[in-house]
């Protein structure tokens, strides 16, 4: 079997899909979406096409190594997202060729079902607490929030006010949902370490499951001071792009949970390697995933075969968070029952992709920027 073509589709608002075709009629799909960077990922995939045509799609590890090491300038979000999409598509082909779900080719199920957490938002403590209660009433046993939703439209952020708002929201949510539903405090990398320490210390009475991305990702050594001054578990990793990026935080045990994203970290193959490294330090893997159903499926196939996954992110656990476009592009969405997701069905990734819908969507694609936040003094702040 040989790869004959690599097709790339852009879809609103920032989705990227890649289809790999073969001379035997089999094809596979991947979703290497990186928020607000779709054109650079698509461009990288088009560059990779020259490396892929004529290759045997079943030699997944060889192709992964080639796409990583045969490119002298490597790493970073666009390059690793493109590798991620190719890797997903190759596993999809291999599963279809064998007539088995991808997870069966990765060692089989390590879990009968996986606990998932959903997202809530709100522009006030009252609103976010009500939304959290509604989600908990659906049977979801872990909920993630971040706040700041009233600031993003006006392109503003202030760390002091941010800490106060997150504590206000956390207190309201804990009162609304009670002590038995876990809460994740998502910081989105917005804080300097001194403010992250203040937030963590003030969160302690409300017992969050972990604090996610408390600081920016560039300097992992900055986590050392936060780790020393916080009693709460810490998690990060959605902006790390390979096992090499994860190495320092795992070996130095700066985090309690690492958060590789199947669209960013190098795909299914690389997530398994990151998880194996984390397992040697008894660190949990909580896969990050906020993209569409194709990426969700790829993430689940990997996560179900990884023993040290205690919970997985599932935007789809809250039906309000599913973008209507995603129903048009791919199906089915994973099945969630009582706060747990069930293994995917079908050969390969088990997804049906509507290519005609993607072709129509690409015609209406328009690039956009992420919110560009500024402080009270006009300085740049992280989103």
Q: How far apart are CA 317 and CA 77, in angstroms?
A: 27
Q: Which of 222, 240, 182 is nearest to 206 (CA)?
A: 182
Q: For residue 197, what are its two tokens?
A: 């320490």
Q: Which of 10, 141, 12, 17 is nearest to 89 (CA)?
A: 17
Determine whether 288 is an active site residue: yes
Angle, CA 62 vertex, CA 58 and CA 63 arms, to 5°: 75
Are 198 and 225 in contact, with CB atoms under 8 Å apart?
no
String of DSSP letters for 115-148: EEEEE---SSHHHHHHHHHHHHHTT--EEEE---
Q: Which of 135, 157, 92 is nearest to 370 (CA)?
A: 157
Q: Which residue has the tokens 């963590």?
A: 200
First to last CA, the chain: 45
Contacts of 280 (CB under 8 A, 6+ apart): none
Catalytic choice (241, 264, 288, 301):
288
Determine whether 188 is an active site residue: yes
Helices 243-251 and 267-279 meet at what angle, rounded to 10?
A: 10
Q: Which residues are catalytic?
A: 188, 288
């Amino acid at each position: 079997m040989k790869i004959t073509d690599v097709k790339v589709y852009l879809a609103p608002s920032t989705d990227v899909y890649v289809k790999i075709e073969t001379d035997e009629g089999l094809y596979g799909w991947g979703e290497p979406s990186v928020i607000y960077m779709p054109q650079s990922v698509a461009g990288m995939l088009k560059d990779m096409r020259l490396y892929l045509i004529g290759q045997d799609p079943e030699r997944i590890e060889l192709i992964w190594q080639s796409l990583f090491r045969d490119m002298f300038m490597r790493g970073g979000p666009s390059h690793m997202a493109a590798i991620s999409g190719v890797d997903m598509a190759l596993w999809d082909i291999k599963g279809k060729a064998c007539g088995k779900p991808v997870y069966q080719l990765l060692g089989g199920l390590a879990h009968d079902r996986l606990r998932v957490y959903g997202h809530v938002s709100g522009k006030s403590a009252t609103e976010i607490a009500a939304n959290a209660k509604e989600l908990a009433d659906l049977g979801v046993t872990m909920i993630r929030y971040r706040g700041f939703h009233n600031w993003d439209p006006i392109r503003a952020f202030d760390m002091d006010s941010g800490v106060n708002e997150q504590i206000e929201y956390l207190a309201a949510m804990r009162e609304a949902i009670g002590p038995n539903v876990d809460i994740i405090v998502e910081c989105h990398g917005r804080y300097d370490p001194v403010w992250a320490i203040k937030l963590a210390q003030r969160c302690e009475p409300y017992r969050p499951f972990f604090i996610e991305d408390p600081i920016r990702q560039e300097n992992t050594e900055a986590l050392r001071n936060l780790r020393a001054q916080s009693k709460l578990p810490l998690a990060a990793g959605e902006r790390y792009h390979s096992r090499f990026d994860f190495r320092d935080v795992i070996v130095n045990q700066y985090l309690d949970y690492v958060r590789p994203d199947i669209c960013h970290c190098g795909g299914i193959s690389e997530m398994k390697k990151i998880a194996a490294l984390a397992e040697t330090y008894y660190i949990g893997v909580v896969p990050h995933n906020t993209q569409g159903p194709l990426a969700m499926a790829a993430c689940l196939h990997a996560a179900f075969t990884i023993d040290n996954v205690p919970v997985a992110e599932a935007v789809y656990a809250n039906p309000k968070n599913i973008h209507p476009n995603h129903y048009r592009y791919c199906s089915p969405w994973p099945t969630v029952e009582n706060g747990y997701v069930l293994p995917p069905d079908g050969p390969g990734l088990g997804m049906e992709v509507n290519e005609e819908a993607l072709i129509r969507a690409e015609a209406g694609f328009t690039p956009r920027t992420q919110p560009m936040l500024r402080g009270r003094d006009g300085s740049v702040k992280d989103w």
